[in-house]
Copies of this chain bind each other. A is one copy, B any other.
């Protein structure tokens, strides 16, 4: 099991979300080679604008590990975390972010993104989280292509 493996779990979960009418974002949190949570965005399903994949994955991981401190965890996100999710990752003390597509890709679909990159957020706030971007970007972009073909897709 390696980084590609975990990112593909997030991608697979995201495809599942798209099939259920959810937004095209998935995230997987891993600690010491073990999957702690793997979820898709549930903004529509749960009527919760904060239920982005990363926030949802962090909540689930906190519940599962019975702690608000996710030090040593890695998050695999199909898209670059938005500033809300980046900041949630910071609060959770997650050590590393791997992401596929970029915030600007999500923006081009029509999502109302705050266009501040993870690199910018990290440098502005002096955060120590490691960020690896454009990871399996091609496979991550396939999620957006698939979502664009859904008749009942909705933006927020």
Flag whether A21 is at the interface (Cβ < 8 A): no
Q: Would you mind naming 6 contact pairs between A and B with Cβ atoms under 8 Å apart?
A: A47-B67, A48-B63, A49-B92, A50-B58, A87-B114, A116-B125
- Bound together, the chains give a CA A87 to CA B86 distance in angstroms of 10
Flag whether A136 is at the interface (Cβ < 8 A): no
- Bound together, the chains give a CA A63 to CA B48 distance in angstroms of 7
A83 touches which of B50, B68, B87 (Cβ 8 Å): B87
B69 & A47 in contact (Cβ 8 Å cutoff): no
B48 & A59 in contact (Cβ 8 Å cutoff): yes
Flag whether A153 is at the interface (Cβ < 8 A): no
Flag whether A5 is at the interface (Cβ < 8 A): no
Range, interface on chain A: 35 or more
Also in contact, A48 and B62, with CB within 8 A (given A83-B83, A120-B124, A156-B91): yes
- Bound together, the chains give a CA A122 to CA B62 distance in angstroms of 30
CB neighbours of A91 from chain B (8 A): 49-50, 82, 84, 112, 156
Q: Using A47-B68, A48-B62, A114-B127 as known contacts, list a sample of 16 further A-B pairs with CB atoms less than 8 Å apart, ordered by residue number in A.
A: A43-B68, A44-B68, A47-B67, A48-B68, A49-B68, A49-B70, A49-B92, A69-B156, A82-B87, A83-B83, A83-B87, A83-B121, A84-B91, A87-B114, A116-B124, A120-B124
